[in-house]
Structure 1
């Protein structure tokens, strides 16, 4: 089987995702699409040069929607990061992301693409819901990186605080990939030990470190790319290989009536199942609040011309 992946939007995040795909040998065919055709072509040439020093080979295709008919995964990374509001409010991108989705959706639908769509663009949860409504596909085929990166940031903050390896920190950030997200501390373990066994910790500060991690980077770089590209590639790889691996990502929650960040098992068909979490009453309230926030922001996007 030829592993085929498409990336739409070749800005900082899209090209870092492409570079990760190529250097890790995650795809046999990689389709790069951008409304600036010359930019996509230039990035493809740069990636082609890099392949001389790699043990793997990836066929690079530029600006060909028809080639997406054979793709297992399409990663949508288009948008305008300059629209992020002060303080890191990703909802500043609502208008620009809607415009990008409106332009791409008809071409994606006409391409014959029958795989899984992974949205990176912000506001991620809102965009996933808008994609689902616009395309009318089975919701399990459309998901977003959601709180996957926020969970990475939480794990890093906890690992640094406790002096442990971040690979040994498990647990989830849930809800919106934005201000209303929260760390579900009831899910956080260091190997098999609950984080509560480590004594008094400033949980609010740790949660804020994961919530504001992106903004700390953005203030200086004016974009983030490595972390988000990595989680997107991990999710794409799980779909391609039918790994049945669990990620916290933006996907449909029947109970909440919205796509929102929560654990999902990913495989060839997209979201295969949603493992249940035994959240505390306070965490359930936070989750409901975050769902309401996403619904309100989705209504804002839908109201735009």
Structure 2
């Protein structure tokens, strides 16, 4: 069966994700949807121009919700990053709600029953809102969450300790936003707990992860490559039923919202969530972050 992926919202992140999916041959059919019809059409032609130099082929369809009926994955990249304020993604809440209220009924009417992957910010509250709007199991609606923040933490740790980033493991958790935190109890470097390394400024490293996106935004007024790579990786994990763990925005029944914590991802979305033994301090930060997400979600409702 053809692997069909949809992207709703063809801004910087949406189109970068689209290029990743096409160049890597992840999708047999890619459906691009944007309220700016000419933009979606133009980006589709640009992507088609790249097909001649690729070893794979992708059928690219534009602005056809009906084509999403049997999609394996639909990626939500709608919104307006220009609404962000002082690095706080909660500033995007109003514009994101307007966008979801417009596209959700159309997606629902298409008969879509695959996995929805949210990039739209504020990611955790928006993922929760998608779960509220669509008649799908909550396990099939996830967000990129703190996956990108985790990558930024791993990069900061690797740079500080002069190791390969591939040898840094661990998770950032909570909100993909100001209240996120690094769960240092989960972080291992060269398969040793990071606590074994002397002179580590944990606060600085956590700040580097949290503020990484804001630094990029201040320089170029959007972010794209990192988040698009995460979205592509998660899409591949879904398509291939990889059973791979991501610290993504997924439903936590204790708080009734989606929040960044590790989940095993496969063809049906979340397969299971591993139990982590957080410290009391980390647990308190998680609860605090959940409260912020829940408050934003309630405002969206």
Q: What band does the TM-score fall into relative to the shorter chain?
A: over 0.9
Give how far 1:199 is off. Answer: 1.3
1:1-305 alignment, distance < 5 Å: 1-86=1-86, 88-302=87-301
Give how far 1:300 is off. Answer: 2.0
Give how far 1:258 is off. Answer: 1.7
Give how far 1:138 is off. Answer: 0.7
SS of 2:251's equivalent? strand
The question of whether the paired residues in 1 share the 8 Å contact of 2:141 and 2:269 is answered with: yes
The question of whether the paired residues in 1 share the 8 Å contact of 2:113 and 2:136 is answered with: no
SS of 2:52's equivalent? helix
Give how far 1:192 is off. Answer: 1.5
Aligned equivalents of 2:38, 2:139: Cα separation in 1: 34
Aligned equivalents of 1:215, 1:258: Cα separation in 2: 25
Q: Which runs of 5+ in 1 are unaligned?
A: none
SS of 1:16's equivalent? helix
The question of whether the paired residues in 1 share the 8 Å contact of 2:167 and 2:191 is answered with: no
Q: TM-score by structure 1 length?
A: 0.98
SS of 2:258's equivalent? strand
Give how far 1:191 is off. Answer: 3.0
Q: CA-to-partner distance for each residue in 1:115-147, whole Å, 9 max, x for gaps?
A: 000000000000011111111321001010000
SS of 1:250's equivalent? strand
Q: TM-score by structure 2 length?
A: 0.99
